[in-house]
Amino acid sequence: MQIEVAGTYKDCQLLDLDGKTAVVIDVLRATTVIATALYHGAKAIVPAESEKQARQIFDQYSTGKAMLAGERNAMKIEGFHLGNSPLEYQSEHIAGKTIILSTTNGTRVLKQSMTADETIAASFVNITAVANYLANKSNNIVIICSGTAGKFSLDDALCAGMLISLISERCQVKTDDLGSLVLQFYGSETGNIADKLQNCYHLKYLQANGYQQDIAYCLQPDQLDVVPVLKNGKMQKL
């Protein structure tokens, strides 16, 4: 299996996704939110690139069938039902609902990855479930790290490295240069995930804005046995 890695959502424009499985990673926090919402009973997550697009999609649903969710600069979008905290997606009020989600980075990547044969959302909370699924695929894989405001982000890179490591335990893997680097980063750093990310800019930014509980949740691996896949423009459970 060949695995290549893209460092930010901007790199999507350079990727050839035809015939491949795309794996989108936005640990802090969009892909963690998607896995959490689906695990706790959301019907589907519809990624939207802009607030305007999210509202247009929402207006197509009957009253009570959908919820608007998302953030800009880590803060909930004004007038939306939910923000981008995975802790908001663990209660019964999302069960059976379609969530229209627009975030600064992650949902952009999901929209841009639709040319792939299949798109999966990965994060630490569901990483082994995703690794097990991908290891049984025949497609080559492109891991797309969402990054932060168009810049490379350590949290997504570490998750990519961990994912490659888990897949390589299950099948033979070849990586591109960036894939080799994130794998080395994951293997060389000591301590737990939080220790490895102590210098992560995006993590520090969320801490400064009061999201420490979100961070603690997002960095705990294997909490959820769920593989979110993009089908007809919607993230759903396999």
d(C-alpha 35, C-alpha 224), whole Å: 7
* Contact of 47 with 101, CB cutoff 8 Å: yes
Rounded to two decimals, the pTM is: 0.97
Q: In order of start, what are the domains of the chain with their CATH numbers?
A: 2-229 (3.90.1560.10)
Whether the predicted pLDDT of 236 surpasses 80: yes
Whether the predicted pLDDT of 12 surpasses 90: no
Q: Where are the beta strands (DSSP E) in the chain?
A: 2-6, 21-25, 44-47, 66-72, 75-76, 98-102, 118-122, 141-145, 174-175, 228-231, 234-237
Q: How many C-beta atoms lie closer than 10 Å to residue 217's C-beta?
A: 19
Whether the predicted pLDDT of 189 surpasses 90: no
Average pLDDT of the chain, as a whole number: 96
Give the pLDDT of residue 136.
Answer: 95
Give the pLDDT of residue 149.
Answer: 87
Helices (DSSP H) in 59-200: which residue ranges?
A: 106-112, 127-135, 154-168, 177-188, 193-196
**What is the arithmetic mean of pLDDT over 192-209?**
95
CB within 8 A of 23, min separation 6: which ones? 119, 120, 121, 122, 130, 134, 141, 142, 143, 144, 163
Give the pLDDT of residue 91.
Answer: 84
Whether the predicted pLDDT of 195 surpasses 80: yes
d(C-alpha 166, C-alpha 128), whole Å: 7
The model's pLDDT over 65-123, given as tens digits with 9 standing for 90+, comes to 999 999 999 999 999 999 999 999 998 899 999 999 999 999 999 999 999 999 999 99
Percent of the chain past pLDDT 90, that is, above it, reads 93
d(C-alpha 154, C-alpha 175), whole Å: 18
By 3-state DSSP, what share of the chain in percent is helix, strand and coil, each rounded to 5?
A: 40, 20, 40
* Contact of 7 with 67, CB cutoff 8 Å: no
**What is the arithmetic mean of pLDDT over 127-141?**
96
The model's pLDDT over 163-186, given as tens digits with 9 standing for 90+, comes to 999 999 999 999 999 999 999 999
